[in-house]
Structure 1
Amino acid sequence: MALRIAINGYGRIGRCFLRALLASPVRGQFSVVAINEPADLESMAYLTRFDSTHGCFPGTVEVGDNCLRIDGTDIPVFHADTPEGVDWRAIGVDILIEASGRYSYRHELQRFLDAGCRRLLLSHPGHSAGDVDQTIVFGMNHELLTGDERIVSAASCTTNAIVPVLVMLDEAYGLDHALMTTLHSVMNDQPLIDGYHHTDLHRTRSAMQSMIPVSTGLARGVQRMLPELAGRIESKAIRVPVVNVSAIDLVVTLRRGTTAAAVNALLRAAVDGQGSGRMAYTDEPHASIDFNHSPHSAIVDGGQTRMSGERLLNLLVWFDNEWGFANRMIDVAAFWGARMK
């Protein structure tokens, strides 16, 4: 029987999740039974059909009676602004994809469960490790899922991109310290022109005119996944004026010496060996736009690998922060669903 999926929050990740699911080979394992989004139905249909980043929807999208009719299938749409505003129990939701980003504390997420959702899969980290039952980076620790969990986080796009790389380096050479600088595409918490848009004054500045330093929880997220690195890893982030595709500039000190060629050979072999499609390797002369709509969590750019001495390593890791992450959420949902009782 198909797993009954609903989406709460039909913004960038919510729409990418639906599009990616409809194009996925595991599509038959799921039935999308509801979408909750405060926006009006006509706007939802329009932005499903036309996407400035990922192109036109390849199927049909129509407005039905309080529903989106996608490829001839009606998906009921609700416009509630609270977890209790939808009778999830009556709909029969096996997994709610929480893509609004508004809820990260356990007591907030519990409200969805109390309203009838059997389980939640978050498109963002929980506020703390205790706010979720598991935080999953698919391909790294997804086998921890038993099916008994009620609230699971798919971590973040940046965590999914960098954790596999750190694990490979640590296993091969040992990691002493690491510094990650995320060069992230613009997001909806930034204005197009300067304005009173955010309590973080950096985010009051025009998104499309400057590179803007912002706060990031990437180091905390990585340490949540790799507690052995606690106290030895730090991060910062800069928003850059592109609409999609981000990169992580990673600097690590290794415990055992190596060369740039050896590191590239290691990462290339690891990518070839896993056969999952979640990571990729390239040494071609790329620009960020080349990775738009990439389903990978990370693409290691071997052409940018640098060593200073034998232990100071610099890597560049690209990722489509929308499409790649949406595909990992599908992976988590499919694996988790297969283990549910």
Structure 2
Amino acid sequence: LKPFWFKPVGVKPFWRRRPWPEQFEEPSCARQVDHLAMADIAGLGINGFGRIGRLVFRAAMGNPSVKVQAVNDPFMDLTYMAYQLKYDSVHMRYKGTVATKVDGDKEYLVVDGKEIRIFHEKDPASIPWAGSGAEYICESTGVFTEKQKAELHIKGGAKKVVLSAPPKDSV
């Protein structure tokens, strides 16, 4: 038996340890990649700016091979989108800059100096994804989880749709 004050050499007490290992300090997607060409960057559109949509947005903003082109949420106005992104209660404050811009009837969310087009359409077929440069759509509303409904994004000009919720049919 070892005495109660025995402590292995090199092991820090729990209150001095980091809450996560060193390899998780900087995500690999946050590293700068200089060799990417513009053709290699994927344009992303997000339908639904709730908890999952904002998390996808944050992950995409940290990935140099993905560019967020547009966000659609019919139930959230522009100022509330900016507020929710900047002061998220679960994922904490966004470390970059978040602002809004209105140019006539077009709305933009300006995040880290990049303008992201904002739409407020209920029908996915009427969202101009192709016009905004979004090729891949993250469907994060949880409403369009059937194949027929998810394909409405393709009518709006998208190439592919990724569901964030389990599909109701065999997709």
Q: Does the pair score TM above 0.5?
A: yes
Gaps of 5+ in 2: 1-38
What CA deviation, in whole Å up to 9, does each residue of 1:261-281 have, x standing for no partner? Answer: xxxxxxxxxxxxxxxxxxxxx
1:244-323 to 2 correspondences below 5 Å: none
CA distance in 2, matches of 1:119, 1:90: 15
Please tell me whether residue 32 in structure 1 is matched to residue 68 in structure 2.
yes
CA distance in 2, matches of 1:51, 1:88: 26
Amino acid at match of 1:114: K
Q: How many residues align?
A: 127
Once the 2 structures are TM-superposed, how far is the Cα of residue 107 of structure 1 from its aligned partner?
1.2
Structure 1 runs of 4+ with >6 Å offset: none
* Structure 2 counterpart SS, 1:126: coil
How many percent identity over aligned positions?
32
Q: What corresponds to 2:166 in structure 1?
A: 125
CA distance in 1, matches of 2:46, 2:141: 9
Aligned equivalent of 1:72, options 108, 113, 118? 113
Q: What corresponds to 2:43 in structure 1?
A: 4
* Structure 2 counterpart SS, 1:4: strand
CA distance in 2, matches of 1:119, 1:35: 15
Aligned equivalent of 2:92, options 40, 46, 55? 55
Aligned equivalent of 1:104, options 123, 142, 145? 145
* Structure 1 counterpart SS, 2:92: coil
Please tell me whether residue 114 in structure 1 is matched to residue 155 in structure 2.
yes
What CA deviation, in whole Å up to 9, does each residue of 1:291-326 have, x standing for no partner? Answer: xxxxxxxxxxxxxxxxxxxxxxxxxxxxxxxxxxxx
Once the 2 structures are TM-superposed, how far is the Cα of residue 114 of structure 1 from its aligned partner?
1.6
Please tell me whether residue 89 in structure 1 is matched to residue 126 in structure 2.
no
CA distance in 2, matches of 1:112, 1:36: 11
- The answer to which structure, 1 or 2, has the higher relative contact order (CA under 8 A, 6+ apart) is 2
Taking structure 2 as the reference length, what is the TM-score of the superposition? 0.71
Change (3 A) 1:88 1:22: closer
Taking structure 1 as the reference length, what is the TM-score of the superposition? 0.36
* Structure 2 counterpart SS, 1:28: coil
- CA contact 2:151–2:161 (8 Å) conserved in 1: no
CA distance in 2, matches of 1:88, 1:48: 21
* Structure 1 counterpart SS, 2:64: helix
Gaps of 5+ in 1: 133-341
Q: What corresponds to 2:56 in structure 1?
A: 17
CA distance in 1, matches of 2:127, 2:169: 26
